[in-house]
Amino acid sequence: MEIGSKILELRKKNNITQEELAENVGVSRQTISKWELGETSPDLEEAKKLSKIFNVSLDELVDNDIKELLTEKVSNTEKLAGLILKIIKIFSIGALVLFIVLIALWGVLMYKRKNESGRIIEKTIICTLHDEEYSMGFRFYEETGNIIEAGGDGYFDNITGASKSNDAYEALDKIDAYVKDRGGTCKVEEK
């Protein structure tokens, strides 16, 4: 729609005569008529006055359809925002998974360090019971007592279950107590 047709439409919609409009804009009634017929167009200052009188924007007055442009820009902005949100979600999930994996690895390392810390030592308990000598050896972590290897006479192992223990100190005490309760003696040698 041309500006002249738009002026005519807005003037009728607002129930304003050509004379009243001419007086408010500061032009003659014939000028308004020429605008409405499309013979001439208002200059920028006159167009500003018309937009104030009709309470419309200059874009609406000259039928400059910026709605499509704005809709397209908003649509593009929404698409970009959606893409950015997806990237942020993926990054956040990835960071969370990485954090959980690192915590799990740290826990495993701390568990191993706790269970396998200190130097490795070897001790053998040699006991005499009923004039017979029996022995059982343990290889274990000094700090925690965690057994790496155990072996020796099956007699002690069958009776005390010492090799099934996880703690060498506990196994040594169990064998010693068993032998002493039966009137025997034990000594522990360290290699």
All structural domains of the chain with their residue ranges: 3-61, 65-115, 120-190
Place of tokens 């090799």: 163
pLDDT, position 117 = 62
What are the tens digits of pLDDT across the range 10-33? Answer: 999 999 999 999 999 999 999 999
The whole-number average pLDDT for the span 38-57 is: 92
The whole-number average pLDDT for the span 61-70 is: 71
Which amino acid appears at position 169 of this protein? Y
Query: 4 pLDDT exceeds 60?
Result: yes
Q: Is the dihedral of CA 32, 38, 40, 46 positive or negative?
A: positive
Query: 106 pLDDT exceeds 70?
Result: yes
DSSP 164: G
Query: 36 pLDDT exceeds 60?
Result: yes
Superfamily of structural domain 3-61 = lambda repressor-like DNA-binding domains (1.10.260.40)
CB atoms within 10 A of CB 168: 26
Are 134 and 153 in contact by the 8 Å Cβ rule? The answer is yes
Query: 1 pLDDT exceeds 60?
Result: no
pLDDT, position 96 = 95
d(CA 149, CA 163): 8
What are the tens digits of pLDDT across the range 112-128? Answer: 766 566 789 999 999 99
The proportion of the chain whose per-residue pLDDT surpasses 90, expressed as a percent, equals: 61
Specify the higher pLDDT residue, 158 or 147. Answer: 147
135 - beta bridge partners? 126
Token reading at 86:
């997806």
pLDDT, position 163 = 73
The whole-number average pLDDT for the span 69-88 is: 86
**Kindly report the CA angle at 26 between 20 and 29, in degrees rounded to 5?**
50
Cα–Cα nearest to 179, from 145, 147, 132, 146 = 132
pLDDT, position 2 = 85
Token reading at 190:
């360290």
Which stretches within 14-162 are classed as H helix?
18-25, 29-37, 44-54, 58-61, 67-115, 154-160
d(CA 136, CA 172): 9
